[in-house]
Amino acid sequence: MMVKLETKHFKMSDYGVLIGFIVLCVAVGIAAPTFFGARNILNLLRQSSIIGIIAVGMTSVIISGNFDISVGAIAAISGAVVMKLLGNAVPLPLVILAGLALGLFIGVCNGVVVAKFAVPSLIATMGMTTILNGAVLMVTGGYPISGKYDLFDYIGNGYILNIPIPVIIFALAVAGMFFILRSTKFGRYIFAVGGNEESSRLSGIKPDRIKIMVFAVSGMLSALAGIVLSSRLGTATPVAGAGYDMDAIASVVIGGTSVLGGEGSVLKTVIGVLFMSVINNAFNLLGVDVYFQYIVKGLIIIIAVGADSYSRKKAMLA
């Protein structure tokens, strides 16, 4: 069974992502001296938090051997529903619970389709994305939903001890996922199912249940990201989560999580998230056209996935 838990014996290769990130930061700092400014760093962390929260859930999904490209659409529909409920004077605690429950429900639906009906995760979540895109248009009427709600706005724009609340939420999500993957039976089962589903089944694990659970976690965290985004912007739009799926996948893969499943680390996902955010930030500081940014992101995903597949193939032939 190909199962690799959070690494205990460190090798030089274990630090590749971190070294690459440091080199990138130094290079960007030289090209754009304002990069290391306190305001820019704080803004970078705040911007990273939205994709970061989604990427935490995506990490568990990819480790299990699946993909979830509906995360952006889940963020969009959750944000839209939350803003709609707030506009109807529903109490904030109930609004937050409703948004999270919606994401959880959508995630469970994704998991059931993948696990029980054997639909490939890319196809299942692609179909769900289309459904949710239609649902967002129904909720919003095709127009942004805006509103000023002081307590809700504090979630996306407030600070605790000079740390932006979205960054704190991201850190808590990382800590929770790290604990799950490192210290719980559920976490070990995620690695086992991703490494070899048939062997895990013969070992008494129920792969279908694990798949449903990881998609549920991904859905709920995507909804949380959508809520934080709506709070930060004070609005929800039909296209709010566009591109978030690719950014999250790129962050996870750059962090070293294998696209074939069974191997990964949420701590390295954090480095991947920051890596992508630094690239976006650098392009903005240097005035690089946004279209070129998409090209670079695509190349990064191809290179990261290609490197992972090549290393796997090389290991099998050795």
Of the candidates 8, 34, 58, which has an alpha carbon nearest to the alpha carbon of residue 273? Answer: 58
14 assigned to some structural domain: no
Residues 299, 276 contacting (CB under 8 angstroms):
no
| pTM of the predicted model as reported, rounded to 2 decimal places | 0.91
71 assigned to some structural domain: yes
277 assigned to some structural domain: no
278 assigned to some structural domain: no
253 assigned to some structural domain: no
What is the Cα–Cα distance from 74 to 245, expressed in whole angstroms? 10
pLDDT value of position 14: 62
pLDDT value of position 6: 44
Could you list the residue range(s) of the whole structural domain that residue 187 is in?
Answer: 37-243+258-266
Q: Give the chain's domain count.
A: 1
203 assigned to some structural domain: yes
120 assigned to some structural domain: yes
24 assigned to some structural domain: no
Give mean pLDDT in consecutive 10-residue pieces for the chain, a chain of 318 residues.
46 69 88 83 90 98 97 98 96 98 98 97 98 97 93 95 95 98 97 96 96 98 98 94 90 90 94 90 80 82 78 72
pLDDT value of position 61: 98
